């Protein structure tokens, strides 16, 4: 199984699990937790969530999924920008820990940049590390100029979680090379897109047909082929979980990667950071 190693030495599977939109309906939570547990069984041990998702509901789903299995998973959560201040971050973190029913989060991210100065957020994150509440901190939806602003704190930033898929390739121009040069893994959210439009593209269907794979598996294999990237697709259906796991075995040929480049041209200039 392909792994990605953080600068501090922890290695995790390149394919994990996302939880966006989980926890929004109480009647779905048991099935969602079961899907996450199945993912753990299949080796997708990185679980990403956030206080924003269902206003904490997704964290509660994760808590149910990892009950009795905390040591098996690498747990990631994110703090709202308005909660990322010196006084507010500790409160938000405690609330997440309570919902997750854990004593420590493995990786805690600033969800996106807001009005709180980055330096203040970093200082609050470092205090949380010192207190043993989180193991590492990172960011999400920050572009190269934001990362450069971290300055001397940049080496302590474990990751940048960004939107990246065949339909949103802007980060390939500068952000992915910037992070790669510094040994900073990138977490790719929505790696197979949203709404299904991407997966209806004939190029994905054609390549998938050659491999006996779905278009989603082809899209996911494209992301997984990049070194230093952790993909976190969300799946609440057991079949989708198994299909995601099987995408790890799909190796795209150079010709097929060129075919995807023709269908989804990589960026030739700087683009504004795409976000969902």
Render pLDDT for 201-228 as a digit per residue (tens, 0 to 9).
Answer: 999 999 999 999 999 999 999 999 999 9
* Mean model confidence pLDDT for the chain: 97
User: Options 3.30.565.60, 3.40.50.300, 3.20.20.100, 3.40.50.880; which CATH number does 11-196+231-237 get?
Assistant: 3.20.20.100
pLDDT digits (tens, 9 = 90+) for 107-133: 999 999 999 999 999 999 999 999 999
Task: Please determine, for residue 195, whether its predicted confidence score (pLDDT) is greater than 80.
Answer: no
192: Cα separation from own chain's centroid: 12
pLDDT digits (tens, 9 = 90+) for 154-188: 999 999 999 999 999 999 999 999 999 999 999 99
- List the domain boundaries for the chain: 11-196+231-237
pLDDT of residue 230: 98
**CB within 8 A of 248, min separation 6: which ones?**
1, 2, 14, 15, 224
Q: Closest by alpha carbon to 264, among 198, 212, 188?
A: 198
User: DSSP secondary-structure letter at 115?
Assistant: S
pLDDT digits (tens, 9 = 90+) for 65-86: 999 999 999 999 999 999 999 9
Pairing of strands 11-13, 3-5: antiparallel
Q: Report the alpha-carbon distance of residue 248 to residue 5 in Å, rounded.
A: 17
pLDDT of residue 162: 98
Q: Report the alpha-carbon distance of residue 150 to residue 259 in Å, rounded.
A: 38
Q: Closest by alpha carbon to 125, among 160, 161, 92?
A: 92
pTM for this model (two decimals): 0.96
- State how far the alpha carbon of 79 is from the alpha carbons of 19, 133, 139, 264, in Å: 15, 14, 10, 33
Task: Please determine, for residue 1, whether its predicted confidence score (pLDDT) is greater than 90.
Answer: no
Please give the share of the chain, as a percent, with pLDDT higher than 70.
Answer: 100
Beta carbons of 159 and 187 less than 8 angstroms apart: yes
Alpha helices by DSSP H, listed for the chain, are 29-41, 57-66, 88-100, 118-130, 144-149, 175-181, 202-211, 215-224, 238-246, 254-263
101: Cα separation from own chain's centroid: 21
């Amino acid at each position: 199984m392909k792994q990605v190693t953080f600068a501090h030495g922890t290695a995790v599977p390149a394919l994990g699990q996302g939880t966006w939109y989980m926890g929004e309906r109480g009647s779905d939570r048991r099935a969602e937790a079961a899907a996450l547990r199945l993912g753990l069984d299949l080796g997708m041990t990185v679980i990403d969530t956030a206080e924003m998702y269902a206003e904490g509901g997704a964290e509660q789903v994760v808590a149910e999924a990892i009950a009795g299995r905390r040591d098996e998973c690498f747990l990631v959560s994110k703090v709202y920008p308005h909660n990322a201040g010196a006084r507010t971050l500790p409160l938000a973190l405690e609330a997440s820990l309570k919902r997750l029913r854990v004593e420590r989060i493995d990786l805690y991210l600033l969800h996106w940049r807001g009005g709180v100065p980055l330096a203040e957020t970093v200082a609050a994150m470092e205090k949380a590390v010192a207190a043993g509440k989180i193991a590492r901190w990172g960011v999400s939806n920050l572009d190269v100029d934001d990362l450069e602003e971290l300055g001397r704190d940049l080496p302590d930033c474990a990751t940048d979680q960004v939107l990246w898929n065949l339909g949103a390739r802007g980060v390939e121009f500068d952000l992915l090379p910037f992070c790669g040069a510094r040994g900073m893994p990138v977490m790719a959210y929505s790696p197979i897109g949203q709404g299904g439009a991407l997966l209806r593209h004939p190029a994905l269907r054609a390549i998938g047909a050659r491999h006996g794979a779905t278009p989603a598996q082809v899209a996911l294999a494209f992301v997984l082929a990049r070194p230093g990237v952790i993909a976190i697709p969300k799946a609440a259906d057991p079949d989708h979980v198994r299909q995601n796991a099987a995408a790890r075995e799909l190796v795209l040929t150079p010709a097929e990667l060129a075919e995807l480049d023709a269908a989804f041209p990589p960026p030739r200039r700087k683009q504004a950071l795409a976000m969902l």
